[in-house]
C-alpha cells in the first residue's frame, strides 16, 4: 500500500484530468442509455408467459392489446369512425371493437348481451388498442390528442407512457430533495463548510461514471434508473468520510501534506474496503435472481460500489490536496455533539430493549411473511389522468383483463369443449375463439386465411379469455390457474402457452418468490464468511446477522400490521440492501467493542465503544434514510415509492437496533464470544458485568459468578 499510495499522490493531477475527461464521455453516454419501462421484459426466458409472447409474435400478426380507450356519446357509426381514426395513429398495430366479435348490422338487442356490453354500453364505446413496443409514449400522446380530455385511456401502455413522462422530472425532484438534506447532515458532522461538497463531488463523479457505463449493457430498467444512483450515493459516502477523517488526523502529525495523505490512504484502505465488501456481496446476491430486474439493478450497484471505492481512493486525495488551503480557511466548530457520554445513557435501556425486541421478533417474522404483495406497477398516482380515467372506465365497464392462450391447432372438438369449460369459470366474462365465434362445424379451410388468421396459425389455435378480475391479486392468480387447469384436461401442459397481464404477473409472482429464498441464502452466507474472516469468531457473525435480520423483519412487517400492500421488488431489494449496507453500523460497533474489550471489562468497554461510534453510525444511517425517504416521497411509481420508504425506515430501525439490541447481545454473550473468538484476549470480567444482571437472574435464574 505504501507504493500504491505514493503513486496515487504523486500522479494526482494527471489522475484528476483523466477522470474528468472520462466523466465527460460517460455523461454523454448516459443520455443515450435506453430505459426499459416494461417489467415483463425482465421475466426469465423460460417463463411460460415469456415463451407465449415470443410464439404469439411468430405465429400471429396481431399482438395483445395493451391499451383501452373509452369514448362516450357515440352512435354505432361514429364508433366505427373512431376505430378507423385510432387505427390510423402511427404506432398503433391493431384496434378491436364490437364489430370484430359480433355482426353490428343486426340489432344489438338480439345479440349476446354480455358480449355487446364488453365493448358498447349506454353509447360508451370501449376500444382495445395494441400499441407497438417502444411506441407507447408517442402512441398514447397521439390517442390523447385524438379523443380529448373527456375520454378515458387506460392500460399497460399508458402506465409505461406515464413512467416515461415522469422519469426525468421525478429524478430531478428526488435529487433536489436529497442533496440539501445530505449537505446539512455533513455540515453538522464535519468541521469545514466545503468538505461536504468534496464528498458529494467525489461520489457524484462515481455516479456519473457508473450511469454512463450502463451504455455497454444496452439498456436499464426504470427501477434501476430511479434507485441505483441514490443507493450508490447513500452507501458510499461513508468511504469519503473515512478518508477525510484519517487525513485530518494525519495532518496534525505530519508537516508534509503529501506524506499525510499517503498515510491516510494506507490507514483508511482496510476500513473502506471492509465496508465496501459487505455492501458489495449484498448486491452481488441480486445477480442470482431469475427475475432480471434484480440482476439489472445488482450489476449497476456492484459496479457503482467499485467505482465509488476507486474514486474515493484515487480522486478524493487529489481534491483534498488541491483544496487544502480552502478547507483550512473554511473551518468551523463541529456542530453535531460528539456523543461521548451516550454509552452511559444507552446502558439504561439495554435490558428493556433486549426483552422488547425478543418479544417482537416472532410477530415481526410472521408479519413480514404474510404481507400482501404487489407484483406490478401498483395503483396509479391518484392525481394523475390515468387514475381518473381508470375510475371513469370502471364506472361504466366492469374491471376486465385479457388472457391469451395458445394450444396446438388441429382438433376443433377439443377447442370447443375447452371454450365451454372456460366459460363456466365464474370469473370469466367471455371467451373468443374460432370454435365459439365462427363455430367448429365450419372448417377453417372454407373461410380463407384473411378470416381465420386471428384464430389459427400453422401450429397454434389462439383463444382470448376476458376475465372480470384485476390484473393481479389472489383472485386474478386463481383465475389464471383455473384457466390452465381447464386447458390441461385436453392438451399436454408443455404445449399450453398463456400471456396477458394476469398471466405475466402470475409468472412474476412465482419467479420472485423463488428468488427471495435464493437471494437471502446467498446474502447471509456471503456476509457470514466475510464476518468470519474479519472477526475470526464463530459467534459474532451470527449475532450481527441476526440483529440486522430482526431489523429487517420489523421493517417489513410494518406494512402487514397497517394493512398496506407492499411492492415485492421493494421487499426483495431492500432486504438485501439492509443486510449488505446497514450491517456496517453493527460491524463498526463490534470492531470498537472487541478492541476496547482487551483493555476494559465488558460494561466499561461498551460505554467507550458507544461514545466512539454513535456519531459515525448516526451520520451514515441518516444519509441512507434521507436517500430512501427522498425516493419514497418524490416518486409516484409504486415500486420506487415502496422501495424508497422501506429503505428509509430500514436505515432508522437498523441504526436503533445497532446501538441498543446489539450492545445488549454482545454483553449478554460476552463469555461465549471470548471462547469462540481466536485470540480474543479479553480483560477479566467483573463478578457481575451487567447492570441489568438482577433482571436476567430473575428471568434465566442465572447464578452470579
- Concatenating the DSSP letter of every residue in 300-315 gives HHHHHHHHHHHHHHHH
Q: Considering the chain, what is the average pLDDT of its residues?
A: 85
- Which helix H or strand E contains 549, and what residues bound it? helix 540-561
CA neighbours within 13 Å on the CB side: how many for 544? 32
pLDDT at 488 over 90: yes
| Residue 444 in this model has a pLDDT that exceeds 80 | no
Instruction: Decide if pLDDT at 86 tops 90.
Output: yes
Q: Judge whether residue 683 has pLDDT over 50.
A: yes
pLDDT given for residue 438 in this prediction: 66
Signed CA dihedral, 481, 484, 488, 493: sign only: negative
pLDDT band at 450 (very low <50, low <70, confident <90, very high): low
What pLDDT was estimated at residue 449? 56
Query: 561 is written with which cell numbers?
Result: 400490521
Rounded distance between C-alpha atoms, residue 8 and residue 497, angstroms: 58
Q: Give the 3-state DSSP-derived string for 9-54, with helices as H, strands as E and coil as C.
A: HHCHHHHHHHHHHHHHHHHHHHCCCEEECCHHHHCCCCCHHHHHHH
* Single pTM value for the model: 0.82
Task: Report the pLDDT value the prediction gives residue 88, as an integer from 0 to 100.
Answer: 92
Residue 550 pLDDT exceeds 50? yes
Res 692 pLDDT > 80: no
Which carries the bigger pLDDT value, residue 379 or residue 23? 23
DSSP 244-296: HHHHHHHHHH-SSHHHHHHHHHHHHHHHHHHHHHHHHHHHHGGGG-SSHHHHH
The pLDDT tens digits of the residues spanning 144-177 come to: 999 998 899 998 888 888 877 777 677 777 777 8
**Of residues 205 and 375, more confidently modeled:** 205
- Between CA 391 and CA 400, with CA 396 as vertex, the angle to 5 degrees is 75
Q: How much of the chain exceeds pLDDT 70, in percent? A: 94
Cα distance between residue 284 and residue 525, in whole Å:
12
Residue 202 is placed in which grid cell? 467525489
Identify the bridge partners of residue 331 per DSSP, sorted by sequence position: 192
Alpha-carbon gap, residue 702 to 212, rounded angstroms: 60
Q: What is the pLDDT of residue 351?
A: 83
What's the pLDDT band for 704 if we cut at 50, 70, 90?
Answer: very low
pLDDT of 349 over the 70 cut: yes
Amino acid at each position: 500500500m505504501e507504493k500504491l499510495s505514493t503513486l496515487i499522490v504523486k500522479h494526482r493531477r494527471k489522475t484528476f484530468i483523466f477522470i474528468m475527461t472520462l466523466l465527460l464521455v460517460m455523461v454523454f453516454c448516459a443520455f443515450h442509455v435506453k430505459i426499459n419501462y416494461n417489467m415483463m421484459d425482465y421475466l426469465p426466458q423460460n417463463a411460460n408467459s415469456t415463451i407465449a409472447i415470443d410464439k404469439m409474435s411468430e405465429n400471429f400478426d396481431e399482438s395483445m392489446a395493451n391499451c383501452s380507450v373509452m369514448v362516450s356519446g357515440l352512435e354505432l357509426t361514429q364508433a366505427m369512425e373512431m376505430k378507423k381514426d385510432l387505427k390510423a395513429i402511427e404506432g398503433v398495430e391493431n384496434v378491436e371493437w364490437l364489430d370484430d366479435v359480433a355482426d353490428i348490422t343486426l340489432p344489438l338487442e338480439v345479440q349476446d348481451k354480455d358480449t355487446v356490453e364488453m365493448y358498447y354500453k349506454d353509447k360508451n364505446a370501449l376500444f382495445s388498442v395494441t400499441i407497438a413496443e417502444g411506441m407507447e409514449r408517442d402512441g398514447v400522446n397521439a390517442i390523447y390528442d385524438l379523443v380529448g380530455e373527456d375520454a378515458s385511456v387506460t392500460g399497460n401502455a399508458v402506465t409505461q407512457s406515464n413512467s416515461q413522462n415522469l422519469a426525468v422530472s421525478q429524478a430531478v425532484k428526488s435529487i433536489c430533495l436529497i442533496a440539501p438534506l445530505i449537505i446539512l447532515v455533513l455540515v453538522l458532522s464535519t468541521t469545514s463548510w466545503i468538505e461536504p461538497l468534496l464528498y458529494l463531488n467525489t461520489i457524484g463523479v462515481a455516479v456519473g461514471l457508473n450511469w454512463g457505463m450502463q451504455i455497454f449493457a444496452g439498456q436499464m430498467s426504470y427501477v434501476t434508473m430511479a434507485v441505483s444512483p441514490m443507493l450508490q450515493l447513500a452507501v458510499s459516502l461513508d468511504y469519503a468520510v473515512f478518508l477525510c477523517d484519517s487525513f485530518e488526523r494525519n495532518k496534525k502529525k505530519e508537516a508534509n501534506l503529501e506524506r499525510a495523505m499517503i498515510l491516510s490512504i494506507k490507514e483508511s484502505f482496510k476500513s473502506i474496503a471492509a465496508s465496501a465488501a459487505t455492501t458489495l456481496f449484498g448486491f452481488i446476491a441480486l445477480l442470482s435472481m431469475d427475475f432480471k430486474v434484480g440482476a439489472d439493478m445488482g450489476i449497476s450497484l456492484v459496479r457503482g460500489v467499485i467505482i465509488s471505492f476507486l474514486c474515493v481512493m484515487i480522486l478524493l486525495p487529489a481534491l483534498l490536496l488541491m483544496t487544502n488551503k480552502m478547507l483550512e480557511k473554511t473551518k468551523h466548530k463541529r456542530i453535531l455533539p460528539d456523543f461521548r457520554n451516550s454509552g452511559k445513557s444507552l446502558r439504561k435501556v439495554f435490558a428493556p430493549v433486549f426483552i422488547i425486541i425478543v418479544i417482537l421478533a416472532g410477530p415481526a417474522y410472521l408479519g413480514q411473511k404474510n404481507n400482501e404483495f404487489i407484483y406490478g406497477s401498483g395503483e396509479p398516482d391518484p392525481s394523475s389522468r390515468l387514475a381518473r380515467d381508470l375510475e371513469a372506465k370502471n364506472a361504466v365497464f366492469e374491471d376486465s383483463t385479457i388472457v391469451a392462450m395458445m394450444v396446438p391447432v388441429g382438433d376443433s372438438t377439443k377447442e370447443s369443449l375447452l371454450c365451454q369449460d372456460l366459460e363456466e369459470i365464474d370469473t370469466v366474462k367471455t371467451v373468443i375463439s374460432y370454435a365459439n365465434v365462427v363455430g367448429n362445424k365450419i372448417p377453417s379451410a372454407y373461410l380463407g386465411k384473411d378470416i381465420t388468421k386471428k384464430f389459427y396459425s400453422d401450429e397454434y389455435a389462439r383463444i382470448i379469455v376476458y376475465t372480470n378480475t384485476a390484473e393481479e391479486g389472489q383472485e386474478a392468480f386463481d383465475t389464471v390457474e383455473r384457466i390452465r387447469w381447464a386447458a390441461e384436461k385436453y392438451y399436454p401442459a408443455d404445449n399450453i402457452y398463456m400471456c396477458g397481464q394476469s398471466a405475466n404477473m402470475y409468472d412474476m409472482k412465482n419467479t420472485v418468490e423463488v428468488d427471495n429464498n435464493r437471494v437471502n441464502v446467498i446474502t447471509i452466507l456471503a456476509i457470514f464468511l466475510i464476518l468470519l474472516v474479519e472477526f475470526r469468531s464463530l459467534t459474532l457473525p451470527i449475532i450481527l446477522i441476526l440483529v440486522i435480520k430482526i431489523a429487517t423483519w420489523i421493517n417489513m412487517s410494518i406494512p402487514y400490521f397497517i394493512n398496506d400492500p407492499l411492492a415485492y421488488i421493494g421487499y426483495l431489494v431492500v432486504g438485501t440492501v439492509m443486510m449488505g449496507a446497514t450491517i456496517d453500523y453493527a460491524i463498526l460497533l463490534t470492531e470498537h467493542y472487541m478492541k476496547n474489550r482487551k483493555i476494559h471489562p465488558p460494561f466499561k468497554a461498551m460505554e467507550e465503544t458507544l461514545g466512539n461510534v454513535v456519531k459515525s453510525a448516526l451520520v451514515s444511517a441518516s444519509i441512507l434514510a434521507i436517500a430512501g425517504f427522498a425516493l419514497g416521497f418524490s416518486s409516484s411509481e409504486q415500486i420506487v415509492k415502496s422501495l424508497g420508504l422501506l429503505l428509509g425506515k430500514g436505515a432508522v430501525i437498523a441504526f436503533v437496533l445497532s446501538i441498543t439490541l446489539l450492545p445488549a447481545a454482545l454483553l449478554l454473550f460476552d463469555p461465549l464470544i471470548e471462547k469462540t473468538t481466536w485470540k480474543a484476549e479479553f480483560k477479566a470480567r467483573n463478578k457481575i458485568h451487567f447492570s441489568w444482571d438482577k433482571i436476567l437472574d430473575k428471568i434465566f435464574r442465572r447464578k452470579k459468578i
